[in-house]
Amino acid sequence: MIVTRKRPDRNPELTRSTVDPDPRIFYKCSVKGKTMTLWCSYSASISLLSFSRINKLTASSPIQNLSRRISAKMSTASSPFEIAHTIKLPSQPTEPVTVVAAPGLSDADFRNAIGCSLFEQWLKNIQSEKGLLADGSLSLTQVLIQGVDMFGKRVGFLKFKADVIDKETGQKVPGIVFARGPAVAVLILLESEGKTYTVLTEQVRVPVGKPILELPAGMLDDNVGDIFGTALREVEEETGIQLHLDDMVDLTMFLDPSTGNKVIPSPGGCDEELSLLLYRGSVKADVIKQLQGKETGLREHGELIKVHVVPYETLWRMTPDAKVLMSVAIYEMAKKEGLLPHKN
C-alpha cells in the first residue's frame, strides 16, 4: 500500500473511478491549518488492512479533523459501492468473493457485518457438505451488505444480498438474506383439573402489522448459545413462570440428524433456525387464572406482552404462529411413536 500527500488544487474532485488504471481512496484532512489530501492506492478492492494501516499512520502524525471521502463516481454500470473487501473460500479457491457495502453503510457497520457470527455461520453453511457450493455447480461472486442492526455490542440482525450463480445457465439464484441466527421456543403444557392448557404470549409484531399469539421464544446470543438456559430465561421474562431444566424435552432432537435437529420457518428469505422444547407440568386451577391476561415483558426493551392460556385441544386452530404449529406436529408424532420420556 502506498500512502502520500497531494495538494487539493492538483486533484480538486477527490474522486475515484473503476476505469482509472490507478484507482485511489482519497482522504481530506487538515494539517496545521492547511488543507491537504491523503490517498491509498489499491489493486482489486478496498481491504480492511488498508483502513487499518491508514488509521495507524494518521494516529502517529499531526493530522486533525480527518474525514474520509471515498467517492463512488462510475463511468460504467459496475458496482457503485463505497467500501469493499475480498475473501477467498476454500470451496472455490480460484474464485474470490467481493463483499461490498451498500451506499450509506458506515465503516463500522461494514466491519461488524463481515466479522459477526451471523455472516461467518452463513459462509460455513454454504460450504458445508450439503451446502450450495458443495458440488461445484454454483458459485458465489459477490455479497452486498445492506443493513446492520446492533443489539448492544453484537450484531442482532444482518441484511445482505448474495450473488450466487448457476454455472450452467449463468443465471443468478435468488439470494436476498435476512440473517438473525438461532432461536429457541417452548411449548408449555400445564395439566389442571383433568384438562391440558398451553401458555402463549400475545406480542406486538410490527413486521406483520398486528399482535400474534405465539410460544414464548428468544434468540440465542450466538451460534454456540445455551439453548436450555435461553429458554428458561425467556419463559420467565415473558410469562413469569419458572421452569425446571430437568423437565424440559428437546422436541427437535426427534428429527432426523440430516435436519441438523432444527426447524427453519422461512428458508426462502431468513436463516433463522429453531430449537423447539417441551415442558409438561401440573398446576392448580388458580395458577391458570393468575396467568390469564397477565402483562409481562421487559418494557425498557420495548416488549409489550400479554399472557394467554388456551386449551391444548384447540391450540392448532388458534394461531398462525409457525412455532406453535411445528411444535404441535412434532409433539404429536413423538407421542404417537412412544418417543417422549415419562414425566417426572
Q: Which pLDDT score is estimated for 225?
A: 75
**pLDDT tens-place string over residues 9-44:** 433 333 332 333 333 333 334 344 444 434 333 333
Separation in Å, CA 151 to CA 1, 112, 148, 161? 35, 12, 10, 21
Name the more confident of 143 and 64: 143
> Using 50, 70 and 90 to split pLDDT, how confident is the model at 262?
very high
Least confident range of 33-37, 82-86, 311-315: 33-37
pLDDT of 296: 84
| Residue of 35 and 93 predicted with greater confidence | 93
At 304, the pLDDT band (50, 70, 90 cuts) reads confident
Say if residue 47's pLDDT is above 90: no
What pLDDT, in 10s, does the model give residues 120-141? Answer: 999 999 999 999 999 999 999 9
What is the pLDDT at residue 222?
Answer: 63
CA distance 27 to 40: 8
Beta carbons of 231 and 339 less than 8 angstroms apart: no
- Give the CA angle between residues 21, 26, 28 to the nearest 5°: 155
| Mean pLDDT (whole number) for 234-248 | 93
* Distance in angstroms (rounded) separating the CA atoms of residues 45 and 100: 9
Rounded CA-CA distance 180/174 in Å is 18
Side-chain-facing half-sphere of 37: CA atoms under 13 Å:
17
Answer with the residue of higher pLDDT: 300 or 257.
257
* pLDDT tier at 342, thresholds 50, 70, 90: confident
pLDDT the model gives residue 224:
61
- The CATH topology of domain 182-336 is Nucleoside Triphosphate Pyrophosphohydrolase (3.90.79)
161-217 pLDDT, tens digit each = 999 999 999 999 999 999 999 999 999 999 999 999 999 999 989 999 999 999 999
Calculate the dihedral angle through the C-alpha atoms of 159, 165, 169, 172, rounding to the nearest 10 degrees: 20
Sign of CA dihedral 76, 108, 225, 231: negative
Task: Give the per-residue pLDDT at 42.
Answer: 35
The model's pTM is 0.75
Where in the chain are the domains?
3-69, 84-179, 182-336
Mean per-residue pLDDT over the chain, rounded: 80
pLDDT band at 301; cut points 50, 70, 90: low
User: Among positive and negative, which fits the CA dihedral 341, 291, 214, 244?
Assistant: negative
Burial (CB < 10 A; 0-12, 13-18, 19+), residue 301, is exposed
**Higher per-residue pLDDT: 74 or 239:** 239
